[in-house]
Chain A
C-alpha cells in the first residue's frame, strides 16, 4: 500500500475526456515522477489530488483516508503540501512572515483567532522558521520583502514554506518550468538535499527529463489521460512505448 493511492479516476470536461481510468500508487519515502506530453492530463490529475477538482468517478486515498470532497485547506491539513508552477508566495509580506504562516497553520489548524498576541512573541515558531531558512540558505534574506526577490529565491521560499509544515507528501507542479539551466540544477540539488535530510514522499509533475531522471525513483508516463507505463527510471528510458509516445517526439 502506498501513501497515495489513486484508483480508477475519470474526469471529463464537457466532451473532452481529461482523465480515464487513472491508477497510481505512490510509495512512502520515494520520489514519484509523473511525465507526459502537453495535454496528457498531468495538471488535471494534480488538481484532483489537492481538492481543486473532483473526479467524476474513482477514489483518491491519502494514508488510508479519502481526499475527495475535501477543500484544499483540509487536504493540506492532512499532510499534503503543494508547490506551484509559478511560485505562489505572499508577495506583500517579508520572507520571515511568509514562513510564519505555514507554521501557524500547522500549530493552530485551519482557523484560530490570535488577535491580541504579537507575532514577535512566538519564539518557538520563529526559531523553527529560521532553522528552515538556514536549510535553504535564505536566512540572510529573512527581512526582505518577498515580492522583490528573484524567481529562484521565490521558488526556494515556496519550498521552504511547504517543508516547514513537515508534510508527508510534497506535490511539485513543474518546479523548474521556465528556469535557466543553472537555476534548474540548483533546484535539483535542493530537492536532493531535502530528500536526504528527511523522510518525505514527493510527487513531481515535470517536463524536463533531466530533472526527472536525476530525482525520480519511480516514473509514471501519462498519455491522453491514461497511464501508459509505470516503472523505474532505467526501464522507462528504454521503453519502446514511451519512446514512441513521448521521448520520440521530444528527440
Chain B
C-alpha cells in the first residue's frame, strides 16, 4: 500500500492511527479522577508532540542515516518561525504561505550552512554546525533586532501592514492564524461519560502534516538515496572507490532535514504566532538530539516516539510535586513514605531534567538503538519464554520498526 513494503505499511498505519486518535489516546483518565493530571490530550501539548515529531523525523534523516551529528538544527527551526511570523505580518493570516515560506527559508540557509559544514566530518562537522547555530542565535539577539525583535521575540501587532487581510479584526483585536477561515486555535470539547476529549483544528493540521512528513521519510529510507546515505555512514572510502560522490548526497539530506526543521518552526508559529531567539540556542538543538537518540536513531518510528516521550514528560513529569507524591505513597507507613518521597523529590517536578539526563545517558550506554531497540529486546525475550510454538510466534511477531 502507498508504494510501501508490508512492514513499512504496518508502521505507517500505526502512526496514522496514533496521530488521528491522539485526542482519545492521550486522555485515558476521566476528567474528575485523581489521574486526570496525566492526561495530555489538550490541544497545546498535542500540537507540540507532533511538531517536535516532525523536527525529530527530519533530524533523524540526517543523523540516523548518515551519522553526521548536527548540533545546530534548532537554528533552522528558529528561522522557520521568524519567516512564518513575517508572512503573517506582511501577507496574510493564512498558514499555508507561512509554512511554505518557512520551509523555503530554512532550506536556503541549510544549503549555505550545509555546503560549508559538510566539507568536514565527524566532530568537526558537529562543531561547525554548532558555531553556525550560535552565530545565528547571537545575531538574532543583537544586530538583527529589526528583523527578529531581539529578546522580546517577533510578534503580531495591531499595526501590521497585512496585504491580504486586515491589520485588525472588526472589534479591534489581533487577527488569528487560520486555514482558509478555519481558526487554528478553535477546538471542540466532546464529553463522553466522565471523559472529555478535545478536537483542535490546529492539532489536526499538524497531525496531517506530520503524517505526510513521516510518509516522505519512509520513502527516503527505502529509496536508493537512503541506501546511499547508509553507505556513507558505513564506509565513505568504499563509496568513493565505487564511483560515487558523497558530498551531493549529504548536502541533499542536510537540506531536506533543514526543511523539516523549518516546517516544524513554521507550524509552531502557525499555532502561536511568535518567534524568539531562544528557539535557536544550541541547547534547543541538543533537545532534538536527545529525542532522536532516546527514541532510536536510524529507525523509522524512533524519533516520533522520542519526541512524544520527552514532550510528555516535560509537561507531565514536571507537574508531579510533593503533594502528588504524598497522594501516591499514602499507603506506606509515615517514616517510609517521607523517605521514599525524599528520594524521588529531586527527579520530579522542576528536577525532571535530571531524570531526562540520566535516562539519556543510560540509553547511550546500554541501548544504543533507543526505545525501539528496547522494545525489540523485550519482544525477543518474550518469544524466548514460549519456545514451543516459536515458529508461529516468530512469524506473527515482527520487530517494531525497520
| Alpha-carbon distance A177/B240, docked complex (angstroms) | 23
| Distance of A164 from chain B, by nearest CB (Å) | 10
Q: Which residue of A lies closest to B232 (CB)?
A: A90
Residues of B within 8 A of A101 (CB): 227-228, 231, 239, 242, 244
| Alpha-carbon distance A82/B239, docked complex (angstroms) | 11
Interface string of B200-226 (1 = CB under 8 A from A): 000000000000000000011011111
Taking the complex as formed, is A114 at the interface, i.e. its CB lies under 8 A from any CB of chain B? yes
**Which listed residue, A50, A88, A117, A119, touches B238 by the CB 8 Å rule?**
A88
Interface string of B227-238 (1 = CB under 8 A from A): 110110111011
Q: Are B224 and A114 in contact (CB under 8 A)?
A: yes
Taking the complex as formed, is A169 at the interface, i.e. its CB lies under 8 A from any CB of chain B? no
Q: Are A50 and B241 in contact (CB under 8 A)?
A: yes
| Distance of B21 from chain A, by nearest CB (Å) | 28
Interface string of A110-127 (1 = CB under 8 A from B): 110111111110100000
List the one stretch of A9-17, A61-69, A70-78, A231-239 in contact with chain B: A70-78
Taking the complex as formed, is B249 at the interface, i.e. its CB lies under 8 A from any CB of chain A? yes
| Alpha-carbon distance A111/B220, docked complex (angstroms) | 16
Number of interface residues of B (CB under 8 A): 30
Taking the complex as formed, is B391 at the interface, i.e. its CB lies under 8 A from any CB of chain A? no
Residues of A within 8 A of B248 (CB): 111, 113
Q: Are A91 and B234 in contact (CB under 8 A)?
A: yes
| Alpha-carbon distance A115/B225, docked complex (angstroms) | 5
List the one stretch of A18-26, A92-100, A187-195, A213-221 in contact with chain B: A92-100
Taking the complex as formed, is B243 at the interface, i.e. its CB lies under 8 A from any CB of chain A? yes
Given A93-B230, A110-B244, do A116 and B239 touch, yes or no (CB 8 Å)?
Answer: no
| Distance of B114 from chain A, by nearest CB (Å) | 15
Q: Are B231 and A119 in contact (CB under 8 A)?
A: no
Chain B binding surface SS class: helix
Q: Are B234 and A93 in contact (CB under 8 A)?
A: yes
| Distance of A141 from chain B, by nearest CB (Å) | 17
**Which listed residue, B222, B237, B241, B252, touches A119 by the CB 8 Å rule?**
B222
Interface string of A80-92 (1 = CB under 8 A from B): 0110100011111
Q: Are A89 and B225 in contact (CB under 8 A)?
A: no
| Distance of A20 from chain B, by nearest CB (Å) | 27
| Alpha-carbon distance A120/B230, docked complex (angstroms) | 16
Taking the complex as formed, is A246 at the interface, i.e. its CB lies under 8 A from any CB of chain B? no
Interface string of B34-64 (1 = CB under 8 A from A): 0000000000000000000000000000000
Given A88-B237, A118-B219, A122-B224, do A110 and B231 touch, yes or no (CB 8 Å)?
Answer: no
**Which listed residue, B222, B230, B231, B240, touches A72 by the CB 8 Å rule?**
B240
Interface string of A174-204 (1 = CB under 8 A from B): 0000000000000000000000000000000
Q: Are B245 and A73 in contact (CB under 8 A)?
A: yes
Taking the complex as formed, is B3 at the interface, i.e. its CB lies under 8 A from any CB of chain A? yes
Residues of A within 8 A of B239 (CB): 73, 90, 101
**Which listed residue, A77, A90, A115, touches B231 by the CB 8 Å rule?**
A90
Given A76-B242, A88-B241, A161-B242, do A116 and B231 touch, yes or no (CB 8 Å)?
Answer: no
Residues of B within 8 A of A104 (CB): 224, 227-228, 244
Taking the complex as formed, is B194 at the interface, i.e. its CB lies under 8 A from any CB of chain A? no
| Alpha-carbon distance A118/B244, docked complex (angstroms) | 19
Q: Are A115 and B220 in contact (CB under 8 A)?
A: yes
Q: Are A119 and B243 in contact (CB under 8 A)?
A: no
Number of interface residues of A (CB under 8 A): 37
Q: Are A105 and B243 in contact (CB under 8 A)?
A: yes
Q: Which residue of B lies closest to A89 (CB)?
A: B238
| Alpha-carbon distance A97/B243, docked complex (angstroms) | 16
Residues of B within 8 A of A81 (CB): 241-242
Given A89-B235, A90-B231, A113-B252, do A118 and B3 touch, yes or no (CB 8 Å)?
Answer: yes
Given A114-B225, A119-B222, A119-B227, do A77 and B235 touch, yes or no (CB 8 Å)?
Answer: no
Taking the complex as formed, is B5 at the interface, i.e. its CB lies under 8 A from any CB of chain A? yes
Q: Are B235 and A73 in contact (CB under 8 A)?
A: no
| Alpha-carbon distance A84/B237, docked complex (angstroms) | 10
Residues of A within 8 A of B228 (CB): 101, 104
Q: Are A110 and B245 in contact (CB under 8 A)?
A: yes
Which residue, A84, A90, A122, has most C-beta atoms of chain B within 10 A? A90
Taking the complex as formed, is A227 at the interface, i.e. its CB lies under 8 A from any CB of chain B? no
Residues of A within 8 A of B5 (CB): 118, 120
Residues of B within 8 A of A88 (CB): 235, 237-238, 241
| Alpha-carbon distance A106/B224, docked complex (angstroms) | 13
Residues of A within 8 A of B256 (CB): 115
**Which listed residue, A91, A105, A116, A119, touches B244 by the CB 8 Å rule?**
A105
Residues of B within 8 A of A73 (CB): 239-245
Interface string of B86-111 (1 = CB under 8 A from A): 00000000000000000000000000
Taking the complex as formed, is A102 at the interface, i.e. its CB lies under 8 A from any CB of chain B? yes
| Alpha-carbon distance A105/B3, docked complex (angstroms) | 24
Residues of B within 8 A of A71 (CB): 240, 245
Given A73-B244, A93-B227, do A111 and B238 touch, yes or no (CB 8 Å)?
Answer: no
Residues of A within 8 A of B219 (CB): 115-116, 118
| Alpha-carbon distance A92/B240, docked complex (angstroms) | 17
Q: Are A106 and B243 in contact (CB under 8 A)?
A: yes
Residues of B within 8 A of A30 (CB): none
Interface string of B313-331 (1 = CB under 8 A from A): 0000000000000000000
Instruction: List 10 A-B pairs, Cβ < 8 Å.
Output: A71-B240, A84-B241, A88-B237, A90-B238, A92-B230, A93-B230, A105-B243, A110-B245, A120-B222, A165-B243
Seen from chain B, the residues whose Cβ lies within 8 Å of a Cβ on chain A are 3-5, 219-220, 222-228, 230-231, 233-235, 237-245, 248-249, 252, 256
